[in-house]
């Protein structure tokens, strides 16, 4: 399914050969447990991106015209078998990442991130750190009978010992078992609750944790406050604001090499197109930070 070019770039700046960034739509919706619609997220993000101005005041230019973005077709995914879908996503990400370009996956439910992580690990030698912006820990071993539920994605990434650590920002809803797992595995999980982010004393620890690391950055849009992104399956109050999220992404990009990004869990609603636009602009900002190193 062709959705058009991310940011509506012309042929010169969106050709596969010229672009340094590949956008991969992954419209998986297999284990959603509350509000539905995440499967329509990638199309909504791409459509909204075509209204985003290319000029970036922070960088005083039009960054997309320097690096270029090519939008891939969505792979066929097994919505009735999330484990199989993760394997299909991993294969698609590995193919894209083997080009040497930055892969930016658009979900879909958060389960897609397990496939993104696996695909990146298949492409890059060595280890990988994960920076996760999210309202939820997603550290359950199973949820509603599935080990590949959206509520288990961080746990599935940690199954691979090559994932050094998952660094979580903006969490404000968790099960007791998830908190216990994080406490029992401080070498693998670092959790900053939303109030910890607001206190601002996380920058140095994040920089030290990511120094000379490769990073998979996963952004669940419910990590942002519903005032910014209300159109998501499980909107949690008291979330991160726009500048706080940009600060986390910018610091990550300045501290490490971001080798893959995914942005998930937008569930577009007809009367809430501001959410689609905000997410599209966030993806553009994230790409620019990743390419520029901050």
Annotated binding site for Mn(2+): 110, 134, 136, 138, 220, 222
Q: Among 36, 46, 48, which Cα is nearest to 104's?
A: 46
What is the three-class DSSP state of 285? helix
Q: Among 162, 164, 33, which Cα is nearest to 110's?
A: 33
Phi, psi for 195 (deg, rounded to 5): -70, -30
Distance CA 132, CA 121 (A): 17
- Which residues in 77-108 are b (16+ Cβ under 10 Å) and which e? bebeebbebbbbbbebbbbbbeeebbbbbbbb
User: How many other CB atoms sit within 10 Å of the CB of residue 160?
Assistant: 13
Cβ within 8 Å of residue 127, ≥6 positions away: 162, 163, 164, 213, 214
Distance CA 123, CA 54 (A): 30
- Residues within the annotated binding site? 110, 134, 136, 138, 220, 222
Rounded alpha-carbon distances, angstroms, from residue 223 to 50, 67, 233 = 24, 28, 12
């Amino acid at each position: 399914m062709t959705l058009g070019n991310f940011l509506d770039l012309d042929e010169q700046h969106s050709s596969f050969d010229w672009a340094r960034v590949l956008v991969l739509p992954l419209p998986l919706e297999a284990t959603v447990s509350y509000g539905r619609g995440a499967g329509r997220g990638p199309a909504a993000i791409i459509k909204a991106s075509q209204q985003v101005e290319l000029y970036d005041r922070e960088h005083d230019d039009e960054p997309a015209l320097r690096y270029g973005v090519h939008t891939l077709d969505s792979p066929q995914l097994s919505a009735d078998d999330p484990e199989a879908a993760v394997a299909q996503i991993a294969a698609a990400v590995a193919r894209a990442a083997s080009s040497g370009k930055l892969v930016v996956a658009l979900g879909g439910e958060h389960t897609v991130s397990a496939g993104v992580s696996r695909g990146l690990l298949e492409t890059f030698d060595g280890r990988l750190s994960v920076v996760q912006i999210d309202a939820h820990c997603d550290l359950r071993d199973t949820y509603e009978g599935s080990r590949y539920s959206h509520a288990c994605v961080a746990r599935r990434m940690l199954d691979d010992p090559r994932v050094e650590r998952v660094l979580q920002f903006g969490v404000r809803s968790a099960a007791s078992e998830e908190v216990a797992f994080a406490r029992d595995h401080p070498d693998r999980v670092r959790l900053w609750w939303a109030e910890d982010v607001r206190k601002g004393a996380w920058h140095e620890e994040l920089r030290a944790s990511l120094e000379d690391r490769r990073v998979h950055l996963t952004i669940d849009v419910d990590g942002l406050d519903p005032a910014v992104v209300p159109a998501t399956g499980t909107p949690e109050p008291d979330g991160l604001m726009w500048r706080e999220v940009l600060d986390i992404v910018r610091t990550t990009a300045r501290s490490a090499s971001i080798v893959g990004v995914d942005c998930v869990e937008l569930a577009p609603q007809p009367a809430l197109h501001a959410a689609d636009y905000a997410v599209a602009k966030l993806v553009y900002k994230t790409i620019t930070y990743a390419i520029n190193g901050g």
